[in-house]
Structure 1
Amino acid sequence: MTPDPFTTLEATPGAPWRADTVTQGSEFIALAARTDTPEEALDWVRSLRAERPDATHVCWAYVIGTAYRFSDDGEPGGTAGQPILRALQGQGVDHVTVAVVRYYGGIKLGTGGLARAYGNLAAECVRTARRHLVRPRVTVTASVPFADVSTLYHLLTQHDTERGEETYTATGLTLTLHLYPEDTGTFRAALRDATRGNGELSEA
């Protein structure tokens, strides 16, 4: 299956985007970063909690492909995690986690006020972050006899490829490559022509 491109943030858990506001005395800090697996997202949230032990709440949500999850972290149900998730979905981003840290200021905001505070700040954080389109690559293997190894290396300089593991066999070289899906046909034909039919490209 060809992976779909997606829009994500130019930020990592180590350097997230930030937005903050003060509402009725409570300080809200939104942090947004690219996370590529649920485990990475949860690890990041745990690290935020460890860094901010005095925070009243650390509410969060992530969207990673078809997977999503959110947490109110002690706020009334539906007032924090879901508004953050809706903000992510509304911004059309993927592989992104947003956490909103709250320091309680002594004035209750009510369920509507909480939902607006969490959702609006999460949306602002993602909206103001730099983004980029990720085009996932597919993994293939190129196999050539020893006589065509230099030909294969020359082809790599002419095409947009990422090299992986090299394996020498009794007859030649097998090289793992990462190509954009739309480039596999072109590279397969180029390999076949350059090696007079001796080179093969197959799915990894």
Structure 2
Amino acid sequence: MTEEDKWTLRAPFEYELVVKKSVFLARAHPVYTEEELPKIIQSLSSATATHNCWACRFGDFFRCDDAGEPSGTAGRPILQVMDRQKMDQLVIVVSRWFGGIKLGAGGLVRAYSGVAAQCLTLAEKQRSISMVNVGFIGNFSAYGRLQALLSRYRAEIVSEEFLSDFVRFYVKIPTSSLEIFKQEVQNITRGKSEFRVEEDRTSCFRRVE
């Protein structure tokens, strides 16, 4: 993943494709955490399908599964489609009902990638912006200017801790603005911000309607 803007689904979407009597049904659904992924995959899978192959991407996290199809012919092609279309925060499950005619490795790749690509092309999407979690401090005299700075960068305030001599901020800002934002914080606090990127906090994406 890069720091450029991505796209995510505005709502779940599905698309069906028939290839040599095999039915491929792609279901795309938003996903935001690894914890919710198994439940969503289960809900999108069909108990009657021959295979339920899937791929997911949110931030730097990605997974894919061929679900019994030959290795590399299903999950990875679905994931590659998602990345080519700059999609994020979603999972796609493609259910296949075997129609009696073998497609071969190349045919499977084309079928799985084709149904996933068409599903995403037709789905309603919205732009999302990569965000990064940062922490810094400022004395009380700089509080108003720091609040104005956060507003200008459309930062999301996670928390503010009012301590004896200063305020500690934890915020989320657009990743592309990180360096210039850091410089402005340093200027306001005269280099005493203790600015740091919170590596232990999960990166997130803010939707832009």
* TM-score, structure 2 normalization: 0.70
Q: Which residue of 1 aligns with 2:186?
A: 188
Deviations 1:33-80 (CA, angstroms, capped at 9, x unpaired): 44445554444323323xx32222211123455554322212334432
Q: Does 1:202 align with 2:195?
A: yes
Look up the equivalent residue of 2:54 and give its one-letter code.
W
Q: Does 1:81 align with 2:75?
A: yes
Q: CA RMSD in A?
A: 3.2
- Relative to structure 1, the CA distance from residue 79 to residue 187 in structure 2 (aligned partners, 3 Å threshold; closer, same or farther) is same
Describe the SS at the equivalent of 1:200.
coil
Aligned with 1:23 (options 14, 19, 25): 19
Q: Contact 1:19–1:121 (CA<8 Å) still a contact in 2?
A: yes
Aligned with 1:103 (options 97, 101, 125): 97
> C-alpha separation between the residues in 1 aligned to 2:150 and 2:108?
54
> C-alpha separation between the residues in 2 aligned to 1:89 and 1:156?
31
> C-alpha separation between the residues in 2 aligned to 1:148 and 1:65?
33
Number of aligned positions between the proteins: 190
> C-alpha separation between the residues in 2 aligned to 1:110 and 1:72?
15
> C-alpha separation between the residues in 2 aligned to 1:110 and 1:40?
33
- Relative to structure 1, the CA distance from residue 165 to residue 59 in structure 2 (aligned partners, 3 Å threshold; closer, same or farther) is same
Look up the equivalent residue of 1:9 and give its one-letter code.
T
Within 5 Å, which residues of 2 pair with 1:15-94? Answer: 15-49=11-45, 52-64=46-58, 68-94=62-88
> Which runs of 5 or more residues in structure 2 are unaligned?
199-209
> C-alpha separation between the residues in 2 aligned to 1:92 and 1:174?
35
Aligned with 1:142 (options 113, 121, 137): 137
> C-alpha separation between the residues in 2 aligned to 1:66 and 1:137?
12
Q: Contact 2:138–2:168 (CA<8 Å) still a contact in 1?
A: yes
Describe the SS at the equivalent of 1:98.
strand
Q: Which residue of 2 aligns with 1:173?
A: 167
Q: Quick check: which has more Rg, 1 or 2? A: 1
- Relative to structure 1, the CA distance from residue 90 to residue 164 in structure 2 (aligned partners, 3 Å threshold; closer, same or farther) is closer
* TM-score, structure 1 normalization: 0.71
Q: Contact 2:59–2:88 (CA<8 Å) still a contact in 1?
A: yes
Look up the equivalent residue of 2:134 and give its one-letter code.
T
- Relative to structure 1, the CA distance from residue 159 to residue 6 in structure 2 (aligned partners, 3 Å threshold; closer, same or farther) is closer
- Relative to structure 1, the CA distance from residue 109 to residue 91 in structure 2 (aligned partners, 3 Å threshold; closer, same or farther) is farther
Q: Which residue of 1 aligns with 2:112?
A: 118
> Which runs of 5 or more residues in structure 1 are unaligned?
none
Describe the SS at the equivalent of 1:135.
strand
Look up the equivalent residue of 1:174 and give its one-letter code.
R
Describe the SS at the equivalent of 1:9.
strand
- Relative to structure 1, the CA distance from residue 60 to residue 154 in structure 2 (aligned partners, 3 Å threshold; closer, same or farther) is closer
User: 1:120 deviation in Å?
Assistant: 0.8
Q: Which residue of 2 aligns with 1:9?
A: 8
